Structure 1
């Protein structure tokens, strides 16, 4: 019995010993090492959990710095330098009696910072805790020191025209504001008068004056404006807006730097505008050099070329003492100005085209058909880029959006019914494929025609009769719908479809600015004879982008090759064909010769553009936009494409204009008349 008791006691002791050993092993295995605590501490930085970092400090450290002061200091420093991607490197074998040596590497707004450091630990209640002081942030940082982040400004890239004229760049605007100490004793009446002149509200001005930083001698900005807007008289024989504002006590006008667009409205659709970056964009572009003060291209070329135009601020991160003297430079990155970009656009020509068409809903393309350089690209009506840059009222924004003429709509990027401007394309396709002969008489058919009774009541109509000789040249001179309907039927749906695909229909246009695709049908094929016949004179379901149509016309001066358009001048950039051999050389020559008669012949629809001594070729087009053949309330698009036939690579030009709502205004003749002045300018330009 005694032996059993002894054995039992021994067993109990062994069990207790084993249990104790297990607990010891558990503690050894799962107790956090100093390295683990350090890694946990550093891991909280990117998460912004400075409170969690403070909880890992030993009691002595917590008695030295309060939780609030610790959180504020660490937050200001790490978020001020935009610390990210923090990496910790700790060597495995280190003596417990010695501080832990480690290396920290982090990305910051000024580039990478890397430093070696030591951390001391104290064991409290069986847990390792960090003996903290400011050198845990950076080795040479003392309690009285600060971490300075200095930004170095850079300049956004500028955009120039082909002649070196500034299209978008840095300039000055008027900054209208108030000096509170110089205002009237009872300013409400003055605020209301100022608000009425500036198109804002008295309450919004009052809110600016109530800002905490405002003192009696402060200049309080109210609104930035272009100098031209400020100098414009409010009405006939009235004082300028500037004079009226300066009559109010306390008003002051100073200069402020801004992105400016010297050519004004005429380049707004092309260039677009910049604005301050918003929170959503800042998050989306995180890590790409933007901050809360950055400006960002929001539309047009400003947006397209944003990555190249943007200014990259420089930054320097330093430790400075209480007097602001630099103790140590931690990291720096140089400022980098944005890239300047030069366009093929001629600013003067862009302005001239705009002035001619500013009262219409229009799209205009001017290009050099032998090089592909786009010389002007204008959509009207338009807006003013500066309204977006300087900020616009809700009233102004609503007026732009609710305007039935759609000034924010860029018509050059869309596709439109080409009408008779498409007839030279059908003629060239027929000649190239051998389905049409230039001298073949397709028969006079009067002013209306249908193939046979299978068409029911549907008739194709034309405006002019010109005798019995319905051949290609006469059909182009008189713009005969019936001839080109018959020509399309001769070509056939399959052949026409094949040739239009060769011309780039259904493809993206290879151009810096995205353009809508041209189409020959709403479906996947031309589904009926009537649709095919209507396609022959640019109706049916044909839609063409103006730039694309200009490129197709370039084949008439390039022996059947379509030029590739471009907008930016680059070193060693030369002419390049988008599509080679779209028409035969012979077909291109015939069409070019016939189009000269459209202008030279007294009966030609383009006769209004005739200029003595000039070798011009062109084609008009009036496209009907209506619900049915019997619809009398539809509208019309007017087209005119014109080019010189004797130009070299320097002097060649091709202009294509489209105007909406020309019904009862002369149709395409309205466009021809507007172009006459522009042609005189281009023909006399050296």
Structure 2
């Protein structure tokens, strides 16, 4: 009997323990639902989050509105990440809360990464227990708008406001502004100031602005327009003083100052500095960073475009909670100004070179460097254009005039390559001196004005003048003897010639230069025949060079054999691109020869000889023949020169010099620039 009673007690205890265990396993704890809800919140799964909300919450907040509001804020504020940290109260605190029969509340810390920065706030998340018909429990979440941001209420809207930044400026080596933030002029009309002849007056304004009159009429037809109001039409450059004066005389026109981009040196620097303009739809699509928005201003050409990421700065952003009569700031970030950039350019020298080309409306280019540092002092392309036209809105007729101009003012000539002609001969001389094919002692017997090899057919190399004695390198440079350089280049062969030129930057990578200038070339493909090799030796054939590359290629002559890398910005360090191209002795020899090109009895640049300073250099006439028999082809004239101070080395090319005296014309123009440098 006792045994049976004991067995019953054991079974009862076991059943009780079993039932108790099952109850604990079937009961859902609030921490379980909290963890699940937080995971959904961090993954921004607002659809699933809504299914966790309490009955009271869902009665107050429609599912579609709940999801749409948070998804819109995520997109508008660029919320990349949400992180939630929460604290589980200790068991004793939980027990006290159970005694008070209050819904469990969990402290949380919310972090949201937004476009304006990280928003961090503390909040509380309350869970409400629900019991179903089968007496199974569960927990739901009590939600309110303050869990999005503490400042939010039911009737609160969130606004994003950008704070404009300041674009960085571009200055020359002396701090002169090349692209600055200055004053422009907003041009508008007051409808109340028109006379009875409004149509005629609109036509007059449109004509002055080179726009269609319909643009003014459309502006006046906007709903908000009324008498006494300023109706904006366009923005005008401060450099266009004549236009501003003309518009000021028209009764209905109003002119207001505004901030704008200003290019103080205008067309003389336009190809180098470029201009800014409103971003296009295509450019906006290419903005993978999402940095820009419609109506933003970006660099469109030249250094304004090249340095866009440095110049643009960063906008500030404010996220605001707007109530009926108040506005609360949720978070804000201050705008970061763009970086100012200083160039190695000498603005006055650049302007002087440009004006020297403009005197006779010459088409051409020039590059000036400091031959001892590699710093670029000028990059000129002529003719040019007013960058303000593109910055503030160019009319179709103005664009057509520029585009159809025979002088091609929109063509950036200093970024292009051309046949260098005989200005290339010092490079061939240095290549030959480096590989031993040409020495100071060499003297070649050359008869007549022409020379050819067996197998060349009817093709002959022609020189300007005959020689009565053997021709050495000095004489070949002074008289610019094509045959000497053709023979020496054929003698060294294609491999030695091209290998030598590669040390001057004639390769796939080209020069290491900040501005995108077209790479120079030795030939279209390979030099596969002797006539092409011979022509290449004196800068014809298929050799193409930019003015900058030609200028920098002369630096071994002035740096004891070292070829420098060209620089454009003040923060770049001096660099030797190739050392020991030639010996110091050979460099001195070439200096003497280049001086005699200008000052020697038979020198080809004698027109550049001046009192008060000495010039040295090399001329070059590049014939632009369409065929070997072309007798009346146009010619480009080159002159590469430096003065005895050796502070400036300038390579200049002028197009169509055939009827102006050939390369001598270019030498004369460049000599005038050196007069300005050395004397004025």
In the alignment, which residue of structure 2 is the partner of 1:115? 121
Asked if 2 retains the 8 angstrom alpha-carbon contact of 1:636 and 1:662, the reply is yes
- CA offsets 1:30-81 (integer angstroms, 9 cap, x no match): xx95765665567558xxx8x9988986665565467897688657755553
CA distance, structure 2, for counterparts of residue 674 and residue 71 of structure 1: 73
CA distance, structure 2, for counterparts of residue 414 and residue 407 of structure 1: 14
Asked if 2 retains the 8 angstrom alpha-carbon contact of 1:370 and 1:575, the reply is no
In the alignment, which residue of structure 2 is the partner of 1:83? 79
CA distance, structure 1, for counterparts of residue 85 and residue 208 of structure 2: 64
- CA offsets 1:300-358 (integer angstroms, 9 cap, x no match): 112222222222223343546543354xx533323221221111111111111111124
In the alignment, which residue of structure 2 is the partner of 1:609? 608
Please give the secondary structure, in 1, of the residue aligned with 2:589. Answer: helix
Pair 1:247–1:552, CA change in 2 (3 A): closer
Please give the secondary structure, in 2, of the residue aligned with 1:429. Answer: helix
Shift of residue 420, structure 1, vs aligned partner: 0.5
In the alignment, which residue of structure 2 is the partner of 1:308? 310
In the alignment, which residue of structure 1 is the partner of 2:476? 475
Shift of residue 600, structure 1, vs aligned partner: 0.2
Asked if 2 retains the 8 angstrom alpha-carbon contact of 1:662 and 1:668, the reply is yes
In the alignment, which residue of structure 2 is the partner of 1:428? 430
- CA offsets 1:415-439 (integer angstroms, 9 cap, x no match): 2211100111222222333322334
Matched, 1:215 2:211: no
Q: How many residues align?
A: 636
CA distance, structure 2, for counterparts of residue 124 and residue 311 of structure 1: 58
Shift of residue 270, structure 1, vs aligned partner: 0.8
Pair 1:644–1:494, CA change in 2 (3 A): same
Shift of residue 529, structure 1, vs aligned partner: 1.7
Q: What's the TM-score, normalizing by structure 2?
A: 0.85
Tell me the C-alpha RMSD between the 2 structures: 3.3
Asked if 1 retains the 8 angstrom alpha-carbon contact of 2:89 and 2:106, the reply is no
Pair 1:76–1:393, CA change in 2 (3 A): farther
CA distance, structure 1, for counterparts of residue 127 and residue 230 of structure 2: 54
Asked if 1 retains the 8 angstrom alpha-carbon contact of 2:318 and 2:333, the reply is yes
CA distance, structure 2, for counterparts of residue 489 and residue 200 of structure 1: 61
Matched, 1:187 2:198: yes
Asked if 2 retains the 8 angstrom alpha-carbon contact of 1:58 and 1:124, the reply is no
Shift of residue 389, structure 1, vs aligned partner: 1.4
Pair 1:71–1:174, CA change in 2 (3 A): farther
CA distance, structure 2, for counterparts of residue 402 and residue 128 of structure 1: 76
CA distance, structure 2, for counterparts of residue 472 and residue 624 of structure 1: 23
Pair 1:84–1:206, CA change in 2 (3 A): farther
CA distance, structure 2, for counterparts of residue 70 and residue 211 of structure 1: 37
CA distance, structure 2, for counterparts of residue 182 and residue 302 of structure 1: 39
Shift of residue 390, structure 1, vs aligned partner: 0.8
In the alignment, which residue of structure 1 is the partner of 2:355? 355
Q: What's the TM-score, normalizing by structure 1?
A: 0.84
Pair 1:555–1:597, CA change in 2 (3 A): same
- CA offsets 1:147-181 (integer angstroms, 9 cap, x no match): 45454433211111111111111011121111122
In the alignment, which residue of structure 2 is the partner of 1:6? none
Please give the secondary structure, in 1, of the residue aligned with 2:330. Answer: strand
In the alignment, which residue of structure 1 is the partner of 2:663? 668
CA distance, structure 2, for counterparts of residue 458 and residue 118 of structure 1: 93
In the alignment, which residue of structure 1 is the partner of 2:503? 502
Comparing 111-120 with 355-364, greater Cα deviation is found at 111-120
CA distance, structure 2, for counterparts of residue 402 and residue 124 of structure 1: 83
Matched, 1:98 2:104: yes
CA distance, structure 2, for counterparts of residue 396 and residue 129 of structure 1: 69
Please give the secondary structure, in 2, of the residue aligned with 1:578. Answer: strand
Please give the secondary structure, in 1, of the residue aligned with 2:458. Answer: coil
Asked if 2 retains the 8 angstrom alpha-carbon contact of 1:37 and 1:128, the reply is no
CA distance, structure 2, for counterparts of residue 72 and residue 260 of structure 1: 45
Pair 1:307–1:146, CA change in 2 (3 A): same
Shift of residue 364, structure 1, vs aligned partner: 0.5
Comparing 144-153 with 479-488, greater Cα deviation is found at 144-153
1:240-639 maps to which residues of 2 (within 5 A)?
241-282=243-284, 284-285=286-287, 287=289, 289-292=291-294, 294-319=296-321, 321-324=323-326, 326=328, 329-358=329-358, 359-452=361-454, 454-506=455-507, 507-524=509-526, 526-570=527-571, 575-639=574-638
Asked if 1 retains the 8 angstrom alpha-carbon contact of 2:521 and 2:543, the reply is yes
Q: Mind listing any 5+ residue stretches in structure 2 that lack a counterpart? A: 1-24, 95-101
CA distance, structure 1, for counterparts of residue 651 and residue 220 of structure 2: 53
In the alignment, which residue of structure 1 is the partner of 2:98? none
CA distance, structure 2, for counterparts of residue 440 and residue 133 of structure 1: 95
Shift of residue 500, structure 1, vs aligned partner: 1.2
Pair 1:515–1:103, CA change in 2 (3 A): same
- CA offsets 1:65-109 (integer angstroms, 9 cap, x no match): 678976886577555533333345567999995356544322222
CA distance, structure 1, for counterparts of residue 460 and residue 27 of structure 2: 97
CA distance, structure 2, for counterparts of residue 398 and residue 26 of structure 1: 82
Asked if 1 retains the 8 angstrom alpha-carbon contact of 2:430 and 2:581, the reply is no
CA distance, structure 1, for counterparts of residue 369 and residue 220 of structure 2: 52
Pair 1:483–1:27, CA change in 2 (3 A): farther
CA distance, structure 2, for counterparts of residue 267 and residue 157 of structure 1: 17
